[in-house]
Structure 1
Amino acid sequence: MWLWLLALLGLWLLRRWHRERQTVPGLEEKFVLITGCDSGFGDLLARQLDARGLRVLAGCLTESGAARLRETASSRLQTVLLDVTSSSSIAAAAAWVQERVGERGLWGLVNNAGIAVPAAPNEWLRKEDFVAVLNVNLVGLIEVTLSLLPLVKRARGRVVNVASVMGRLSIFGGGYCPSKFGVEAFSDNLRLEMQHFGVKVSIIEPGYFKTGITNAAALERTLISTWERLSKETKASYGDKYLQDFLASMREMQKKCNPNLSLVTDCMEHALTRCYPRCRYAAGWDAKLLYIPLSYMPSAITDAFFTWLSPKPAQRA
């Protein structure tokens, strides 16, 4: 009995390995737009796909970020200034893309732009702190996708959305985790709708990686400024030690962030260049062996685990 099951599992894995090795033909003629290319995953993916021969359209927030990218890439790569929180910027970028792809359409859209701060205990934050993150990570992603979806449909192409393991487990406060839960939901529904048009939608779920949005100094400055505006009553309920423990845990997490960003960009490249991309890609061993398995466990277990790891406030029930 067990031998038969193992044999079936082995055959299934062999079949999946064979299917996932099949490459899309004519990649040199395919256009891919990537958002958030000033640094981190977007910058590396743009250069990686450019080296592979694809026609990369890199969306950058700043002219300086665009200039740096152009210096390190081939003449094929083109940049466009794109602020995913601005409808006018998105509309202008969509028109710019239309001019370049023409009737061929847009083969790939990679929604990579994202921010993580402000991040703090929820009680410390204001509505606008949540909105600032949601506007970039979720609302901006949705608007960019809707603006470019007709071009992706024309090419029967791919949409690759960058979520996070924090789209499965919400373990710190602020807009980041809710935004990534939203990315998961939007992507799942979009995948179901677009399968009728030959468009494939993939979700990338990285663990902790060392990128611009995990910059320790920026996170600490934001947390301290958030603490300073709290009322005396709220500060007293948490205590100064809570703040120091929170900062220490952030620094410790920074040390554990993986600097090998190619683990993520390789997943993105696979989703764009293979005939049979996966619906989800877990990037990083912490995602594969810790966070995603934890996400399937009962809430009582995950609550106990993260409560044990997290700082303790001064006033507790």
Structure 2
Amino acid sequence: MSVLRNRRADTPSSERTAAQGAPLREEIPAEVRRLAREVCGGEPELLYASDLSLTGEYEPSWLVADGRSVAALGSKHGQLEALWVVPLNEVRQFETEKFIGSAVLRVCRHNGSNPPLRFSLTKLNEFEHAREELERLRRASQQDSGDAGPLPSSRRCPKCHQVIPAWADECPECKPKGKLLLRVFAYLLPHWGLALVTLALLLVVTALSLAPPYFTKVLIDDVFTKGRPFAEAFRLLLLVVFGGILGTSVLSSALGALRAYLMAYLGARIIIGMKQQLYAHLHRLSMGFYDQQQTG
């Protein structure tokens, strides 16, 4: 839950819009609002809720900031208090770091100390947004002194303005779908013959599925309603029912099973090709790449 700029933190609740879905509403405890105003000396510009304590236990803690400082609020000896307060002019940068099952937002100061705020991975994208907002406040506070430092790399999509997830290099919502299909077809090209066979089987099975209604028409119009002799009507009945309806049903089922088998085989071959390409690419990467990337 976040209270961004131009939204007052003393409102009884705050809203944010999920990446996909309806707006979510979470209550801000009155005690948190009061302490946030005391720490900031007024209404905070940012107010974010975490779900972990500094020790990694499941209990709420809060990140608050205004144009002068940033602070973490949490429970200490059963009392809500400020865990740390850092003036923005002492901050070099803000950064997030992901671990197994949790992550932290670090306040990197010029003197080297880095007060953290811990949160679960479900709030990772939210605190990536918080990091950008904190960088905005930091640069605004340090602009007059000329010590704002270089512009941080943006983690926000320039097209949809959503925060890019930490695991992605580009916005997954704005990837061109046409290029994705072309990449899929590139994996299909080495198996084009088998793909054509499965496509032909699909057309044949579809055509066979249209045959039973026609044979039903023949059965009603030519067998039951024309007053034919019993022997002739019985032969036509056997021909239409067993030769037509049942025959096309059996043939359609057999071809459908063959098509399903070929589709599964084709999918397995494509996946094997993708795995081989991925494995070869991983071997081409340098050790420096793996040193810079987090796993787990």
TM-score (norm 2): 0.27
TM-score of the two chains, using structure 1 as the length reference: 0.26
Higher helix proportion: 1
Bigger relative contact order (CA 8 A; separation at least 6): 1
Higher-Rg member (1/2): 2
